Structure 1
Amino acid sequence: MKKKNILFLILVLAIFTISAGCAPNTKNSPTPVDAPIESNEEEPEEESEELLLTLEELAEFDGKDGRPAYVAVNGVIYDVTDSQRWSGGEHNGFEAGQDLTEEIENVSPHGVRTLENVPAVGRIVE
């Protein structure tokens, strides 16, 4: 019986010690946990805004002479500049700077699924 009491006492002490170690230390905390953190730094601006381009403006992004390569599909503009398959703004006879909705949906063997691998950067406007 004495052995059981000692084990019980050790268990109670262990639980107490563990729970005391997990409790928040408020003595060294200069501000309440839920107090807002103030900063002198300005908030960073958004990385980039969505591009709004007409089809005529899109034509400038043909991937040639160091220009970015963009293609439009279903009104969404995709940046294919960094895609090895769009080197020089061309891919399997298609050229960047154009609306390729018809070609991607009906001619391309991979369809629109590979567009998930390139960033959408804007949309076409009238």
Structure 2
Amino acid sequence: MLKNQVFTLQQLALRNGQDKPDIWIAYKGIIYDVTDSKLWRNGTHYEHWAGQDLTAELKDAPHTEKVFERLTVIGKLKVQD
């Protein structure tokens, strides 16, 4: 997939580790692939669920946004009207 592809929240939601084999999360409008991460098995990471925009939830995380630098960018999250 190309990094400049745009996906809706509904398309992101399908990549939750249950409905499709891909596991994606979004942060600050960018969608990341966490499929191969041991920390996201079955689409969960502690109390966080894949297939969602996690921007608002990061403030409660014990890490900074630097963790996203290690992940593969899938595309952009479509801004909702």
TM-score tier after normalising by the smaller chain length: 0.7 to 0.9
Residue 91, structure 1, aligned to residue 25, structure 2: no
Gaps of at least 5 residues in structure 2 are none
In the TM superposition, structure 1's runs of 4+ consecutive aligned residues that sit over 6 Å from their partners are none
Residue 67, structure 1, aligned to residue 21, structure 2: yes
Q: Offset of 1:111 from its aligned partner?
A: 2.1
- The number of equivalent residue pairs is 78
- Percent of aligned pairs with the same amino acid: 37
Gaps of at least 5 residues in structure 1 are 1-47
Superposition pairs of residues 1-126 of structure 1, within 5 angstroms: 48-50=1-3, 51-64=5-18, 67-104=21-58, 106-125=59-78, 126=80
Match of 2:46, as an amino acid? N
Higher-RCO chain (CA-CA 8 Å, sequence separation at least 6): 2
Q: Offset of 1:62 from its aligned partner?
A: 0.3
Distance 2:49 2:64 in 1: 16
DSSP 3-state at the match of 2:25: strand
| Structure with more of its chain in helix, by fraction | 1
Distance 2:12 2:19 in 1: 15
| Structure with more of its chain in strand, by fraction | 2
Rg comparison, structure with higher value? 1
Give me the CA root mean square deviation.
1.3
TM superposition score normalised by structure 1: 0.58
